[in-house]
Amino acid sequence: MSRNFALLSALALSLAIPSWAGKTYTREEAINIALEKSSDVKSAEEDLKSASSQVTAGYGNAYPTIDLSATVTRIFGLDDVEKSTDLTDAAAQMAAGTDENGNPMANAYDQQVIGPAVDGLIYGMKSQGYRWQSSVGITATQILYAQGKVGTGIEIAKAYKRVSEVNLENKKAQVRYDVANAFDQLIYLDSAISIMYASKDMLQENLNFVEQSLKSGLATELDLIRVQLSMDQLNSKIASTEKKRILARNALLNTMGLEWESDVQFQGDLRDPAAGYTYPDTSMANVKKRRRELVMLEETENMKNLNIEIEEGGYKPTVVLLGGIKYANNKNDFFDWDAPKWDKLNKYVALNVTMNLFNGMKTRESVTQAKSSLRSTQIQKETAERGFRMQIESCANTLEDANSQIEIAKRQVDLAQKNYDLTNDAYKLGRETQLNLLTAENSLRTAKLDYMNSIVEWNKAYNALLQATGEY
């Protein structure tokens, strides 16, 4: 780090951290808080959770489904059906009598078997007239073939999850970029204010000298007015810059998700180009791998290719295997139900094959729409690649210009400092005018501010190139 830059940074730090300051954040701490509080990041995290859930749901389509169903029906307008016991009762009455030989007219078999059996038959024939009908059953369904819809759906869900992951990283990168630029702007204004206060000290020294010289007759009232005027102008610039600093601080706090009233201070340096920062890799082959927007478009392209397969599946059959058990019961009284027995359960297995023969060209149009959507994404990707190439070239040129401006500004500071020192020495010896001294002081201040501005512009350009190449 150059001597001038180190001095200016030290001055900025001394101003940025007053003794009354509360919590003080570094650049990285500010970035971490912003990542934690960013609504964009939180929203992207929820999108990722949803995408992960879709993958799980996609696998669920490959597994069988098991459904429980139960139905109770009340039928109105029917008379109650009573279970007939006519034959059973008749057999019992006959058993009480005897024939001419003294034998019972009906034996126990007639009473206990024949009669009830015939009664039950008649009872069953009348069951359609019962007021209450109920059924309960379990059905299992397994898709055997759906032209790859299940597997393709899983792959689409996985691709969407990758898009969500990349989108989350992109949101985080944007937060880091925004905080870094806001942080650099605040540090720059801190440095500018420090430079102005240092210049004010020099003006105050000059003012004290003129006031003493005025008493001894070595200076005129005009000399005093000139210094006072310069002092007022500098105070006005300081006040204006301090207002800009407040706005910059509020902008940084807003980017971090903190309240403007927060008793928060910041410490850090602007990155010094002289420290030897590595330039980002600008080769398009690597940029395509890093630029998250391109990665998202590629995954979107993959999803839309898969979606075409799903839509084309409308031309193919779907094969489903079904199986289940069901129990049905009918009664006159709601509270009078028979307990289900295994031998009374309906057990079934079915193979269902469906294939659409005509749906008003819906399948054809769905395929056409899917292919058109794919082509649209491909065009977006091609356009993005060209745009990134131009963006990288522009950012690289801006960074080179910023480097050149730093070297020029550094020489201007050195020359302005020598000019001021020589002019000040000559003025005190009466060999130089006070006007030239004020001009030299103003030139020195301007040169220092220009130098700090060139540093912050280099930082902005470096951040922009990092973002353009996908390295942020």
CA distance 70 to 65: 17
Whole-number Cα distances in Å, 38 to 31, 34, 46, 176? 10, 6, 13, 11
Query: Poorest-confidence range of 87-96, 207-216, 243-252, 266-275?
Result: 87-96
CA distance 433 to 395: 46
Q: How much is the average pLDDT of 265-282?
A: 88
Q: How much is the average pLDDT of 263-267?
A: 88
pLDDT at site 21: 40
- Domain boundary (354, 379, 408) is at 354
What's the CATH number where 224 sits?
Answer: 1.20.1600.10
* Whether 396 contacts 458, CB under 8 Å: no
Q: Are residues 244 and 298 in the same domain?
A: yes
* Mean of pLDDT over the chain: 85
The percentage of the chain sitting over the pLDDT mark of 70, rounded to a whole number, equals: 81
* DSSP element (H, E) containing 123: helix 115-125
Q: Are residues 300 and 335 in the same domain?
A: no
pLDDT at site 9: 47
Rounded to the nearest 5°, which phi and psi values hold at 324?
180, 180
Q: Are residues 267 and 205 in the same domain?
A: yes
- Domain boundary (327, 354, 381) is at 354
**pLDDT band with cut points at 50, 70 and 90 for residue 10:** very low
Q: Are residues 96 and 232 in the same domain?
A: no
Q: For the chain, what is the domain count?
A: 2
Q: Are residues 245 and 333 in the same domain?
A: no
The pTM for the full model equals: 0.74
Strands (E), 312-440: 318-331, 346-354
Q: Are residues 44 and 122 in the same domain?
A: no
Q: Check pLDDT > 50 for residue 447.
A: yes
Amino acid at 277: Y
pLDDT at site 76: 76
Query: Poorest-confidence range of 213-222, 369-378, 429-438?
Result: 213-222
Other C-beta atoms closer than 10 Å to the C-beta of 345 total: 14
- Domain boundary (332, 354, 376) is at 354
- Decide: residue 230, CB within 10 A, 0-12 exposed, 13-18 middle, 19+ buried: buried
Whole-number Cα distances in Å, 304 to 80, 159, 160, 307? 62, 10, 10, 5
- Structure confidence by residue, pLDDT tens digits, 129-154: 567 778 889 999 998 888 778 888 89
Q: Check pLDDT > 50 for residue 405.
A: yes
Q: Are residues 214 and 139 in the same domain?
A: no
Question: Which residues have a Cβ under 8 Å from the Cβ of 121 and sit 6 or more positions away?
Answer: none
Other C-beta atoms closer than 10 Å to the C-beta of 468 total: 22
- The token duo for 87 is 């034959």
Domain that holds residue 75: 67-145+317-354
CA distance 430 to 217: 12
Q: Are residues 280 and 349 in the same domain?
A: no
Strands 264-266 and 23-25 turn out to be parallel
- Structure confidence by residue, pLDDT tens digits, 281-334: 999 999 999 999 999 999 999 999 999 988 888 888 999 999 999 888 777 676
Q: Are residues 307 and 323 in the same domain?
A: no
CA distance 433 to 333: 120
pLDDT at site 2: 46
Question: Which residues have a Cβ under 8 Å from the Cβ of 55 and sit 6 or more positions away?
Answer: 154, 157, 158, 161
- Structure confidence by residue, pLDDT tens digits, 29-81: 999 999 999 999 999 999 999 999 999 998 888 889 999 999 988 877 655 54
pLDDT at site 334: 66
* Whether 188 contacts 79, CB under 8 Å: no
Q: Which of 330, 368, 350 is nearest to 71 (CA)?
A: 330
Q: Are residues 341 and 373 in the same domain?
A: no
> Rounded to the nearest 10 degrees, what angle do helices 221-256 and 149-215 cross at?
160
Question: Which residues have a Cβ under 8 Å from the Cβ of 453 and sit 6 or more positions away?
Answer: 188, 409
Whole-number Cα distances in Å, 187 to 27, 234, 312, 445? 10, 20, 59, 18
**pLDDT band with cut points at 50, 70 and 90 for residue 15:** very low
- Structure confidence by residue, pLDDT tens digits, 182-191: 999 999 999 9
Q: Are residues 141 and 180 in the same domain?
A: no
